Chain A
């Protein structure tokens, strides 16, 4: 199974940021969702971020809420998500991060959840409604199941807390580009470049950026600012929503969009990764399990 480490070091050699699309599993229904994710992989996704739909997604804006509702209405369950992931891994071995809400994990049983999903091919599980303060509640179970850890940093995270988060992160830091919930935004947040730079100074852990990125130019700018990955979610859910009556067009538009972002990222050469990171000076090196 391909690890984050392998993917990020391959991409660092190629001097390109990872393209990480997000999908709600089962949106708009299981079969279409499979076709969509496979299309995205074929169009150039390097890593997948997948959500298991939840009834009360408090970190999500209207677009992804609607995706959750579509998926739940079509009968999506946690068990079916497991099948879905196996199916995707059979198509191609790309790393998969789950992004979801804690109650679903808690009800499944956290040890069993992490073990089952790791075995199915998941690399990490990011819990949207859990901050680093409560990470201990899942950390050991996740690590002993063989998962990498991914945590969020937001524009209002204090530097000391960033360091704490980085020290517990073995996969990548999910950097939230805006204060707010998920959803496409017309313009790129003006704090994101500074945030990437700050993180790059304190940790060698890969930094991926998400929330509000809806255009190829946004992705390119983020890659140029030194991010190791660009996460795009709501924009894709919008393409699904807009084409519910025409699957062929839906797949074509998603493939087209992902291809375009991929080319935009490819053309924007980033600064050499971690150029400003000096563990000796910072007295700090992130875990690299």
Chain B
């Protein structure tokens, strides 16, 4: 490999020897094309005409009045496919095309990345396989159906708890046997180098836009930028735009599940220890020996025991702060935003909103917060229906 892919000591590429040639090829291609004029032009056009960028920055007036400070939502939920995932799948999908690959594989948790990959598979006419845990298939069935309609094959993974971690394990195993013709379109800013760097690059669009929109709309930078953290792609995407603005506080919100003390959660940065999983040195939820823990969260997209290496570095350096929101508060946040703004947030970004609600009345009324609304909640309606049945 040309680069070490480290963020401080985090990251790297801890993979079996057999995957190295594929990662080298990917690294070479990414650095060759990511600033290439034709590539950039083609990607720009797709982001605009296919995905619907730029996404608006919306002032959530009623929600702001409720919490007592000013909240702007970065509307990634309005993009094609319903989440920020399309920024990354268009970028990597186009790279796959430039590399001459004809087959895509991807893992998915909430199904949003799987769907965004299936869309791109259809768009570029590539054979697409999506690896998804059985638990997630059950709880995100709408997305499963959409993927199939796009022509993707959805492969059900029984192992472990049938969630994102298990889907990644099997996608990596499949890739090992098909490295020569298959492009692994990784869904978050984690995994082995070059994925954390590459996914960050394709998602950095969110932060660049949001920063400009703040300056244009509000006339100043926000005080706080907040995003949910699963693997960390939507968060690093928006954080990256503000990293050099030292006065902008960056807050990542992880899945607190039932509670941190119950052990039933996926708050990796809040409660994990440094370890190695899926090709990277990262904070990791694990037992004393190093066996990876089973995680739990109402949101499939955050239900993952590791996290992107750059977030580990930002945590240690103090540049970003990471907190956790519990399932109950997340469901409250889902209901609240829906009632007050008529916007259904996905359960993942509802974590970021739950954090804001926890700050109700605690911040100066002039405080400006940008929250990354990474996806829309249509996929989660049946979960909310089950957890919070409506009274007649």
Contact = CB atoms under 8 A, between A and B. Distances in A.
B12 A134 contact: yes
Nearest to B20: A131
A104 interface: yes
A154 B172 CA distance: 16
A72 B169 CA distance: 18
A103 B288 CA distance: 11
A108 B165 CA distance: 23
Contact of A107 (B169, B177, B290): B290
Question: What secondary structure prevails in chain A residues at the interface with B?
Answer: loop
Interface in B273-301: 273-279, 284, 286, 288-292
A54 B291 contact: yes
A54 B277 CA distance: 11
A157 B173 CA distance: 18
Interface stretch (A14-22, A36-44, A176-184): A176-184
Contact of B286 (A59, A103, A161): A103
Contacts of B278: 56, 58
A129 B292 contact: no
A129 B16 contact: yes
A153 interface: yes
Contacts of A103: 275-277, 284, 286, 290, 292
Contacts of A176: 17-18
Interface in A195-249: none
B290 A153 contact: no
B16 A59 contact: yes
A172 to B, nearest CB: 15
B13 interface: yes
Interface in A127-163: 128-134, 151-158, 161
B175 to A, nearest CB: 10
B59 interface: no
A222 B16 CA distance: 23
Contacts of B14: 102, 129-130, 134
A131 B20 CA distance: 7
Interface in B3-25: 12-21
A281 interface: no
Contact of B169 (A58, A78, A154, A179): A58
Contact of A152 (B13, B17, B179): B17
Given A58-B278, A103-B276, A179-B176, A156 B165 contact: no
B21 A180 contact: no
B159 interface: yes
B261 interface: no
Contacts of A157: 17, 20-21
Interface residues of A, number: 41
Contacts of A155: 18
A131 B159 CA distance: 25
Interface string A104-121: 101110000000000000
A55 B291 contact: yes
A18 B62 CA distance: 74
B173 A152 contact: no
A131 B14 CA distance: 7
B177 A179 contact: yes
B149 interface: no
B165 A56 contact: yes
Contacts of B178: 179
A152 B16 contact: yes
Contacts of A133: 1, 13, 20
Nearest to A57: B169
Interface string B148-161: 00000000000110
Contacts of A156: 18, 21, 179-180
Nearest to B23: A131
A151 B176 contact: no
Nearest to A62: B159
Interface string A170-195: 00000010111100000000000000
A101 B20 CA distance: 17
User: Chain A CB within 10 Å — which of B20, B165, B179, B275 has the most?
Assistant: B20
Interface string A46-72: 000000001111111100010000001
A77 interface: yes
Contacts of A178: 177
Given A134-B13, A157-B21, 13 more contacts: A54-B291, A58-B173, A65-B159, A77-B289, A103-B277, A129-B276, A131-B16, A131-B20, A133-B13, A155-B18, A165-B17, A178-B177, A181-B177
26 contacts: A54-B291, A55-B292, A56-B160, A56-B165, A56-B169, A56-B292, A57-B169, A58-B16, A58-B278, A59-B16, A60-B173, A103-B276, A103-B290, A106-B275, A106-B276, A107-B273, A107-B275, A129-B15, A130-B14, A134-B13, A152-B16, A152-B18, A154-B16, A178-B177, A179-B180, A181-B176
Complex A-B, nearest 7 residue pairs according to Cβ-Cβ distance, in ascending order: A107-B290, A180-B177, A154-B18, A55-B291, A103-B290, A152-B17, A55-B292
Interface of B: 1, 12-21, 159-160, 165, 169, 172-173, 176-180, 273-279, 284, 286, 288-292
